[in-house]
């Protein structure tokens, strides 16, 4: 086990853990933001540079600090390493710079973007960005491309995190899309707009941190914060069948994988589950999905600290009866 200190908090982690993973073990408050790293996808990370941290002490053996900020998603923990994330003012400044670069060519069309409300770039710029942009030139734009019947690619919004390329590489039998051109005109695309057609292609929508890849069955149906997420499962031959259903009224507007606090899905799901089974009768409902209380999606839906019981486990001997006898608000008044 290796000892690592991140922003003053120490944790022991097994060998081969990255700084980002160690920070995530300490909790979402400590973890640096990540736009391109995805723990379920191999070789992801290192591109967006939002997860940079300052290593103020290399290790117990070699205590020299690292000369430049490092990408925490790609840097392994060494024993005795000391890392500064939010406690280093120059790092906070550097990250502000990265956010500004990511936003420089982003269209900021949040009012008409389906991703708004669950967009990582929105969260990132809210938490780590500056108030206004200093970029005053025309932003680059691309034409929208239909990637098959279910997915639409709006390259203008893309931040080139390469996650969807990794999904296609690692989840699907053949990769039809990739990065064309270079520099600030490089784009995610398929060769001569060929459609992506395989059972797991829909996962590129889930991994996309912004609104560049959107679900055509959900486009412009509703703002995400008007929909209620509910965990559900079904027997599926191709995938685990564990999904989140997004309800508006009695209608399932869309189906996604179950995303955790870091926006990563637990299981990748197949296209049949995602696009074709949209009736409540198709699913076994497990209960409401807990969304991070900071998220706009959970606004007005649930009490922030209400623990949703997981019935599969808790209706056993561990089930504790809730003490519902009335109490005075101010015990001293008794």
Partner 1 sequence: MGKKLLLANDHIPGIQGYEVYRKNGGYASVEKALKTMTPEAVVEEVKKSGLRGRGGAGFPTGMKWSFLAKPEGVQRYLVCNADESEPGTFKDRYLMSRIPHLLVEGMITGSFALGAKTSYIYVRGEYYYIIAILEKAIKEAYAAGWLGKNILGSGFDHDMYVQPGGGAYICGEETALLESLEGKRGNPRIKPPFPAIKGVWGCPTVVNNVETIAAVVPIVNDGGDAYAAIGIGRSTGTKLISASGHINKPGVYEIELGVPVEEFIYSDQYCGGIKNNKKLKAVVAGGSSVPILPANLILKTVNGEDRLMTYESLSDGGFASGSMLGSGGFIVMDETTSIVKNLWNFARFYHHESCGQCSPCREGTGWMEKILHKIVHGHGEMKDIELLWDLQRKIEGNTICPLGDAAAWPVASAIRHFRPEFEEYVLNGHSIKDVKHYYSVNRIQE
Q: Which parts of this chain interact with partner 1 (CB under 8 A)?
A: 45-50, 52, 67-69, 71, 74, 93-94, 97-98, 100-102, 104-105, 134-135, 137, 159-160, 162, 178-179, 181-186
Q: Shortest approach of partner 1 to residue 182 CB, angstroms? A: 5
Let me know how long the chain is. Answer: 334
Smallest separation, CB 187 to partner 1 (Å) = 9
Which residues have a Cβ under 8 Å from the Cβ of 332 and sit 6 or more positions away?
A: none
- Minimal distance, residue 100 CB to partner 1, in Å: 7
Of 53 and 213, nearer to partner 1 (C-beta) is 53
Going by C-alpha positions, the residue among 264, 224, 304 that lies closest to residue 31 is 264
Distances (CA, A) of 190 to 144, 158, 184, 193: 12, 15, 18, 5
* DSSP assignment letter at 266: S
Residue number with CB closer to partner 1 (65 or 309): 65
The C-alpha atoms of residue 290 and residue 231 are separated, in whole angstroms, by 9
Using the minimum distance from each CB to partner 1, give the nearer residue, 192 or 303.
Answer: 192
Q: Which of 292, 152, 118 is nearest to 222 (CA)?
A: 118
Q: How far is the CB of 287 from partner 1 (least distance, A)?
A: 39
Contact at 8 Å (CB) between 13 and 4? Answer: yes
Q: Min. distance of Cβ 96 from partner 1 in angstroms? A: 8
**Packing angle, helices 120-128 and 89-104, rounded to 10:** 140
Q: Which is nearer to partner 1, 183 or 249 (CB)?
A: 183
- Cβ proximity to partner 1, 185 vs 285, nearer residue: 185
**Which residues on neighbouring strands pair with residue 82, listed in sequence order?**
5, 57
Nearer to partner 1, 89 or 316 (CB): 89
Q: Which is nearer to partner 1, 180 or 308 (CB)?
A: 180
Question: Considering the complex, what minimum distance in angstroms separates the CB of residue 292 from partner 1?
Answer: 24
- Strands 2-6, 81-84: pairing is parallel
Strand 242-248 and strand 2-6: pairing?
Answer: unpaired
CA angle, residues 124, 204, 162, in degrees to nearest 5: 60
Cβ(291)–Cβ(265) below 8 Å: no
* Cβ proximity to partner 1, 32 vs 45, nearer residue: 45
What is the nearest approach in angstroms of partner 1 to the Cβ of residue 121? Answer: 11
CB of 68 to partner 1, least distance (A): 4
d(CA 246, CA 4): 39
**Distance between CA 69 and CA 71 in Å, rounded?**
7
């Amino acid at each position: 086990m290796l000892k690592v200190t991140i922003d003053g908090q120490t944790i022991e982690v097994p060998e081969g853990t990255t700084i980002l993973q160690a920070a995530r073990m300490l909790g979402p408050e400590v973890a640096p933001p990540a736009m391109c790293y995805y723990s379920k996808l191999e070789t992801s990370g290192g591109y967006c540079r939002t997860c940079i941290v300052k290593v103020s002490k290399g290790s117990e053996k070699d205590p020299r600090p690292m000369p430049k900020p490092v990408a925490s998603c790609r840097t392994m923990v060494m024993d005795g390493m000391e890392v500064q994330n939010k406690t280093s003012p120059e790092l906070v400044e550097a990250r502000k710079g990265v956010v500004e670069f990511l936003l420089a060519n982003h269209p900021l069309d949040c009012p008409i973007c389906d991703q708004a409300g669950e967009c990582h770039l929105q969260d990132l710029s809210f938490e780590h960005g500056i108030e206004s942009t200093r970029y005053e030139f025309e932003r680059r734009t691309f034409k929208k491309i239909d990637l098959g019947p279910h997915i639409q690619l709006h390259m203008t919004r893309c931040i080139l995190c390469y996650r969807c390329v990794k999904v296609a590489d690692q989840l699907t039998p053949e990769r039809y899309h990739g990065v064309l051109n270079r520099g600030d005109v490089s784009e995610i695309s398929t060769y001569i707009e060929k459609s992506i057609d395989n059972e797991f292609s829909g996962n590129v929508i889930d991994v996309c941190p912004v609104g560049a890849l959107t679900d055509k069955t959900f486009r412009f149906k509703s703002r995400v914060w008007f929909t209620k997420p509910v965990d559900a499962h079904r027997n599926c031959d191709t995938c685990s069948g564990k999904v989140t259903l997004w309800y508006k009224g009695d209608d399932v507007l869309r189906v996604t994988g179950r995303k955790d606090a870091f926006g990563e899905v637990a299981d990748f799901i197949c296209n049949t589950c995602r696009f074709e089974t949209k009736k409540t009768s198709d699913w076994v409902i497990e209960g409401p999905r807990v969304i991070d209380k900071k998220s706009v999606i959970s606004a007005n839906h649930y009490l922030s600290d209400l623990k949703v019981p997981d019935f599969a486990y808790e209706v056993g001997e561990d089930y504790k009866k809730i003490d519902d006898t009335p109490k005075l608000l101010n015990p001293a008044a008794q």
